[in-house]
Amino acid sequence: MPERDPLISVIVIFRNERAFIEEAVRSVLAQPHRPLELILVDDGSSDGSADAALALEFGDVDPILVTRTTDHSAPAARNAGIARASGYYVMFLDGDDELVPDAIGPLLAHLRDNPDCDVVIGHRELVVEPGVTVPRFLRHEGPGARRPHFMTMLVPASTLEITGGFDVRFAGNEDTEWVLRARLLELRLDVIEATVLRYRMHGDNTVYDLDALQRRQVRLLRHLITRRHEPLKVDLTSGVTVGEHRPAE
């Protein structure tokens, strides 16, 4: 842990999120923590999302724009952001979500108070846009419901050196795969009660395709069952696993 306030890189990924990207970026800029590095990863937008984001007033934060034109996927976009990040810690945000005020504070405080913790994860709050129906598997929660959410994580760059990035084979479940890989590497992941982000349901979220969601989950489960001799570190440039990890007998 650095003695002074550490640089935190917040990676915001988006593709055609013009309706929400300004709120997402503003929620990052409103964080009281400084210094802050904002990395905007445009994963092939055609609706002017990047222009809308860059038109905002950034104050003391100089945004970095990364534009991707091929192989569009959330894990690849996150990896592109990680490759550009220079912060001591890294945080992620999707362009249709937003951070709550002082989202970073509780996460950072936990890491300071628990130097053996490798990753800290908070809760998300469900936000439902007017006129939008919540997906079937979330209807028992309702607007305002809270639950732990992997993409609320604040992760030291040193931890990402161990794990590598997100596996592009599991787009849609890349966060779950990363967390499980971190656990296989015997890293310590703590979950705290703090609400970190507002997770927006707007009707076009990928979770509305329940069949595709179930296929992704089955694919990940099969991978985990057969991964005893799978390599564990994910290369940022290719988004696939490299090296090898053999568990103890």
- CATH code for the domain of 15: 3.90.550.10
Number of domains in the chain: 1
Write out the chain's pLDDT in tens, 249 residues: 665 799 999 999 999 999 999 999 999 999 999 999 999 999 999 999 999 999 999 999 999 999 998 889 999 999 999 999 999 999 999 999 999 999 999 999 999 999 999 999 999 999 988 888 777 667 777 778 899 999 999 999 999 999 999 999 998 889 999 998 899 899 999 999 999 999 998 767 666 566 666 677 777 777 776 765 454 566 676 555 544 433 333
Instruction: Find out whether 91 and 162 touch, Cβ atoms under 8 Å.
Output: no
Please report whether residue 3 resides in a domain: no
Indicate the pTM of the whole model: 0.87
Q: Considering the domain boundaries, does residue 226 fall inside one?
A: yes
* E strands present in the chain: 8-14, 36-42, 64-67, 89-94, 98-99, 119-128, 146-148, 154-156, 189-201, 233-234, 241-242
Give the domain range for residue 85. Answer: 8-242
97 part of a folded domain = yes
